[in-house]
Amino acid sequence: MSETAADPRIGTAGFGGPGVSFLVVERRQADVVAYPDGRFEAVPVGDGGPLARRWNEEQLPAIERDRNERWRAEEEHRRATWEQEQAARKAQLASQGQNLPDKAVVTAAYDEQLDAWRRKRAAALTPDLLSGLKWDRENPQPTLEGVYRGFGVEPPPSLEEDEYQPGSPPPPAARAEVHTGEEVWWARSHGAEPEYDESLGNSKDLPLNAISGLLTELSAAGWRLVHVSEQKSAVHHEDRSDTICTAVTYVLQRSGSQA
């Protein structure tokens, strides 16, 4: 079996002739992966889902652990601060001669007084609405403040602070998400080194700064620009038609080669 000789124009020199290559920048659909830190990454259609899932599987557990550890540390600090403040408040009240009774004792006494008041009220009520309102005015409902005073002490400045209220745990960490079918500018080189096959963003206009950066890198690698061609299309509106650039091809030649 005979062997077919390789085309001498194809190889490290590139395609289209000795030392010739192309950089094509065009509008195309892509998957855009949005990361929780605000970064966006455009990848070929179909690659966004696996990329986002892999990031979530590899990164989210560590992020969740870190968030939960920080929250627990903050919660411990908040509780310790609250306990210190409570101890200082009780010490201040004690120094003023107010030895507060245990809250469980106060609560039990309050519940007992409230039940007795309700039984007495139910027995005293009549169909006469005015009579019921008069009884309520003459027999006010028991209060925690009154129970404290019944023990011979003034109530704490803020009864609501007698029990620690823990903070809410952090919500689940944000995940990487995929937006499919987004139109982006995409650069792809054919034959040049370094090779490019990447997104240049989703700006409306041609991304000149990004293209300039690519051409600068190629120039440093020994390529020079010899030709540029544009592909345009018409966009029709009700009152006008616009012509927009949809692709640009940059023809490059290796320095020292003949076109």
pLDDT averaged over consecutive 10-residue blocks of the chain (259 residues)?
34 47 85 86 86 90 90 91 83 67 85 90 73 80 86 68 76 86 83 76 82 86 85 80 82 71
What is the number of residues in the chain? Answer: 259
**What residues make up the domain containing 131?**
64-162
**What would the two tokens of residue 33 be?**
């992966």
Cα 48 from Cα 220, distance rounded (Å): 32
Given this model, what pLDDT does residue 53 score? 92
pLDDT of the residue at 96: 60
Q: Is residue 59 part of a domain?
A: no
Give the predicted TM-score (pTM) of the model: 0.49
> Does any domain span residue 146?
yes
Does residue 150 belong to any structural domain of this protein? yes
- Is residue 188 one of the residues assigned to a domain? no
Flag whether 186 is in a domain.
Answer: no
Extract the tokens encoding 72.
């627990």
Q: Is residue 179 part of a domain?
A: no
Number of domains in the chain: 1
Residue 187 lies in a domain: no
- Provide the residue type at 240 as one letter: R
Flag whether 2 is in a domain.
Answer: no
Give the tens place of pLDDT for each residue, 203-256. Answer: 778 888 888 888 888 888 888 888 888 887 877 878 887 777 778 888 888 866
Alpha carbon 12 to its chain's center: 44
pLDDT at residue number 162: 62
